[in-house]
Structure 1
Amino acid sequence: MMNHSEIILASSSQTRKALMDRLGLAYRCISPDIDESPKAETHADDLAHRLSFEKAKVIAEQYPDAIVIGSDQVAWRLNTPHDFIGKPLTTENAITQLMQNSAQTLYFSTGLSIQHMQSGFERTLVEHYQVKFRELSLDEIQRYVAKEQPLQCAGSFRCEGLGISLFESMSGNDQTTLMGLPLIQLCYALRQLNIVIP
């Protein structure tokens, strides 16, 4: 029966959709309407965990027979996991973020929540990834932001695009964690729900 459960990605992110497409599964996207601002969280892991759980829960309550996937990502710098780096939203903010990132290591806490209300299945976790930026000039930053417009990306870059040119190194278990949807852990959870991959 589980093989016939609908799969819903609780997101409107084009990047997360592209990642889900890699798995070759039938699914649809429904954007959850939740307040993403921090509450009492003092660590990026806690915020990413709560938001991914809430995103999935909002949709799972509406579609209890569906397998719902929620994800959220929070960026931060060394020794300041309480200082959350969000989406820049404007060109000026993106340039400022990248100037601050120059020659720094940026850490990413990516929450993933898989919920299937009908069977009582719920798994929520946080995966980690980090990138070390090379020293960036203002000219390089301005050219990059103008070309790729990473205004909806925490940290102001797209690693799957030209953003890779800004890095000195990358480190983590699963590069899709950096892109916003940890596919290795997602596949593991979906197999527990009897979804056949590959």
Structure 2
Amino acid sequence: MTSTTPTEFPRLILGSTSPYRRELLQRLGIPFDVQAPQVDETPQPGESPADLAMRLALAKAQAVAAQHRDDIVVIGSDQVADLAGQALGKPGTHERAVRQLTAMRGQTVLFHTAVAVVRATTGFSQTVMSTVRVHMGHYSDADIDTYLRCEQPYDCAGSAKSEGLGIVLLDRIESDDPTALIGLPLISTTRMIRQAGLDPLAWRATHLTKS
């Protein structure tokens, strides 16, 4: 989407093509553009899942910011599922998703979602991490197959959509932000973009006044 914000506010760009992050960010009611960051997501040797998420979130925000000279605020984000220190990415295929959910059965999985906000014109750069503890259920092999064929969550780290049918595979979720598991912790994101100079409430107030 492409929209024009009032001139006293910087333009907002989401450095991600994830439809889940886009839908979450739309809750703030601020127009924003979406741009795919060109970043190599290969883990570095010995890099932990949490460190990987933090590094990629910042790299994505910086990569998008570097392509613009105007005053913009860029949000970059990355999520990595962590099973006993092993990073679980997006499965991509049915077979890989089966392997992921089989390994996760009855286990506690940490979902590390990192968010970075960059405003190059002011030198603002901040990254935060939101970790969600997900206690998986003792589901059957048949449950796995049926779920995957119904929802096909092959673009989701950990192979289950908690906001959809995947909730039946979970026992319990521990989180300080209900949006973090979906892919963009809005509490942290909102706090950072306000610190960067783009306050959603101030933007809305100005927009209403000019309407």
Tell me the secondary structure at the aligned position of residue 22 of structure 1. Answer: helix
Which AA in structure 1 matches 2:59? E
Structure 2 distance, partners of 1:113, 1:41, is: 22
Q: Specify whether residues 113 and 101 from structure 1 end up closer, same or farther in structure 2 by C-alpha distance, changes over 3 A only.
A: same
Is contact 1:8-1:68 (8 Å) kept? yes
- How far did 1:165 drift? 1.1
Partner of 1:185: 188
TM-score, normalised to structure 1, is: 0.94
Q: Of the candidates 57, 71, 74, which is equivalent to residue 68 of structure 1?
A: 74
Contact 1:2-1:193 within 8 A present in 2 as well: no
1:131 is paired with a residue of what secondary structure?
Answer: strand
Contact 2:112-2:132 within 8 A present in 1 as well: yes
Q: Which structure 2 residues correspond to residues 88-107 of structure 1 after superposition, within 5 A?
A: 88-107=91-110
1-side partners of 2:75 and 2:182: how far apart? 15
1:72 aligned counterpart, secondary structure = strand
Q: Is the 8 A contact 1:2 1:194 kept in 2?
A: no
1:113-132 → structure 2 map (5 Å cutoff): 113-132=116-135
Deviations 1:91-142 (CA, angstroms, capped at 9, x unpaired): 0111111111111111011111000000111001211101111101011110
Greater Cα radius of gyration, structure 1 or 2:
2
Runs of 5+ unmatched residues, structure 1: none
Separation in structure 1 between the aligned mates of residue 46 and residue 114 of structure 2, nearest angstrom: 14
Give the Cα–Cα distance (whole angstroms) in 1 for the partners of residues 183 and 140 of structure 2: 27
Query: Aligned partners of 1:155 and 1:14: how far apart in 2?
Result: 17
Task: Supply the AA of the counterpart residue of 1:100.
Answer: A
Q: How many residue pairs end up in the alignment?
A: 195
The gaps in structure 2 that reach 5 residues or longer are: 1-5, 202-211
Question: In the alignment, does 2:47 pair up with 1:29?
Answer: no
Alignment partner, residue 110 of structure 1? 113
